[in-house]
Structure 1
Amino acid sequence: MNTSIDRILLEEDGYYPNHPFLPALIYRQAVDMPIDESEQLFKKHRWSNTWVGGVFDYHHYHSRTHEILALVEGSARLKLGGPNGRTVDVKKGDLIIIPAGVAHKNEWATDDFQVLAAYPFGESFDLKTGDKEEYEEALSQIPDAPAPAADPLLGENGPLMELWNRS
């Protein structure tokens, strides 16, 4: 893969747990194929339960599964990690890998912005919004989120496996 990879490790803040040791990853300009081909490639590498759409305009996270967002159209400014997190600019062709617990929010997007999302092993996702009551439960669920079996783009020998120490 001839692309740069941004690694973003985010700290918990008492409302948004983020992940204690897995960084969010952004593969820059890594997805250059139609949605149906991307979806088939992700499924081949055991990332499924796909959908196409936008990203919520409020901070939220998933405590029971990791998530990928392949930018298939447009561009956006996303906030990762909750209100005290990090803002990233992303555009068509980027792939964001979001560990369980990492908050994300759409702060701005072009009118044509769309992502293709998927989850390891087709896991179903929960939706948590930073309510203090959710926090302790989320902390206990995050470590149990199933580790991906393969990088969504390059399979078992892809960079995700090394970057998340899963090789």
Structure 2
Amino acid sequence: MFNESRHGFDAAQTEYEAFMLEPHDWVPNNGKLPVVLYRRALSPGSGNLAAAFEILFERNAWPAQWRDSIFDFHHFHATAHEVLGVTEASAEVIVGGPGGRVLTLHAGDVLLLPAGTGHCLQSFERHFQVVAGYPLGQQWDIRREALTPQETAKMLALPFPPLDPIDGKHGPVVELWLHAA
């Protein structure tokens, strides 16, 4: 069972920033939904962060599908929203496509990317690693070119997940994403 206090999860202590990204060149970003960056969603010194993120994401209907780093080329997912929990080290990640916004991520942070949001690993420290989860029923793809109008419409029609990947029935997905519909 996931022990929130053992793994340093405290919804009241988790801060987040939400921001919109406009389409950029061949990267559609989302246009309807903000990117969300949760700072210290889990305490970095609280044990096995990879296992803790997997349990947390699963509990909130965003099951983890892999552990690794982030690709070092610009890409996006048109068929699924994505949540990335940083389990080790730190990195700079570009969101929004080439020339986009650079975010510094640390162990314990979480990056929530609505479908269409470009992302790319710019630089990293030591053995940077994340756990990636996706809403139930959504299967991720890897896109490196512009979408057709039909693909864009399909991406924007993806269902909203019913729970926030970190805070369940509360949090930015419920507050910001579900109200954007």
- Say whether the fold is shared (TM-score over 0.5): yes
- The counterpart of 1:113, out of the listed 128, 131, 144, is 128
Point out where structure 2 has 5 or more consecutive residues left out of the alignment: 1-10
- For 1:111 and 1:141, the matched residues in 2 are separated by 38
- Check the 8 A contact 1:15/1:135 in 2, yes or no: no
Deviation, 1:137, is 4.3
Deviations 1:36-94 (A, max 9, x none): 23212211111114210000001000011100000000100000000132111111010
Which residue does 1:151 correspond to in 2? 164
- For 1:101 and 1:53, the matched residues in 2 are separated by 20
Point out where structure 1 has 5 or more consecutive residues left out of the alignment: none
- Secondary structure of 2:160's counterpart equals coil
- Secondary structure of 1:156's counterpart equals coil
- Secondary structure of 2:173's counterpart equals helix
- For 1:37 and 1:80, the matched residues in 2 are separated by 25
| Superposition CA RMSD, Å | 1.7
Which residue does 1:57 correspond to in 2? 72
- For 1:99 and 1:22, the matched residues in 2 are separated by 6
- Secondary structure of 1:43's counterpart equals helix
Could you state the TM-score of these two structures normalised by the residue count of structure 1? Answer: 0.91
Could you state the TM-score of these two structures normalised by the residue count of structure 2? Answer: 0.84
Which residue does 1:100 correspond to in 2? 115
Counterpart amino acid of 1:97? L
Which residue does 2:155 correspond to in 1? 142
Counterpart amino acid of 1:13? H
- Check the 8 A contact 2:64/2:131 in 1, yes or no: no
Q: How many residues of Structure 1 are paired with residues of Structure 2 in the alignment?
A: 165
Deviation, 1:149, is 1.3
Matched, 1:38 2:60: no
- Check the 8 A contact 1:64/1:144 in 2, yes or no: no
- For 1:67 and 1:49, the matched residues in 2 are separated by 10
